[in-house]
Amino acid sequence: MDREQLISRVDLTILRPEATSRDVHKVVTDAMQHKARAMCVAPVWVGRVATMVRGSDVRVCSAVAFPHGTSKSTVKAIEATSTIKDGAEEIEVVAHLPLLIGGDLDAARAELMEIVRAARSTRRDVGINVVIECALLLSRGGEGLLDVAARAVRESGCDCIVTSSGFHPTGGATVEAVRLLKKHAEGLELKAVGELTDMAAIRAMIDAGADRIALTDLAPITMVQSPLT
């Protein structure tokens, strides 16, 4: 895999609550300069970022119910549609974690379906990514809960399963967690969020089955220089 192929899998994110306008501007500029796949930001920044990246190939992704996923599903749907109207081409919604921890597939799927219906009625081709906090699920119920989460994401019509928010105390994804999740994520893209601070970590996640990689603004995209062989 050469650098161009690798960078097409990278999403840059800036979701720190204290991020300033200058911080966001810098990361979005980096995303355009290095031709990252997408730029993921908080809803408040979506309109500005959509204007900045217009004419480039960088997609705009908005976080929804981030980072804890504790908003009512109706509120999540409203937030999703609002950001899509502001220019988001993808949304990244945090699932209601107690439903996943409890293994309640029907309820987890129903929550996501409400969001999907609202989002796709606003923009038919919007990408929908779901954060499941795989480290938490593995600690509470093992691999079986990863299967429940993957089924809820797939059967609700979403597109991508995201390992972690990066804000939960259980931490981001490990290589082993990505490998386990990949077994259950048939038909979905898998996006890895974790301690990706060097090329070796990125290589390990991709080898484990990650289709996409999230880099925070604290892990500069310039480290993605050498090819993966």
Q: Which CATH number covers residue 172?
A: 3.20.20.70
By percentage, how much of the chain surpasses pLDDT 70? Answer: 95
Burial readout 75-87 (b: 16 or more C-beta within 10 A, e: otherwise)? ebbebbbebbebb
Task: Mention every residue, 6+ apart, whose C-beta is less than 8 A from residue 66.
Answer: 15, 42, 92, 94, 131, 165, 167
199: how many CB neighbours lie within 10 A of its CB? Answer: 15
Q: What is the pTM of this model?
A: 0.95
HEC-encoded secondary structure of 20-43? CHHHHHHHHHHHHHHCCCEEEECH
> Per the domain annotation, does 12 fall within a domain?
yes
Give residue 8's domain range: 3-223
> Per the domain annotation, does 229 fall within a domain?
no
> Per the domain annotation, does 228 fall within a domain?
no
Average pLDDT score over residue span 91-103: 98
Higher pLDDT, 196 or 82: 82
What pLDDT, in 10s, does the model give residues 21-32?
999 999 999 999
Average pLDDT score over residue span 221-226: 64
Average pLDDT score over residue span 117-128: 98
Domain count, the chain: 1
Q: What pLDDT does residue 95 have?
A: 98
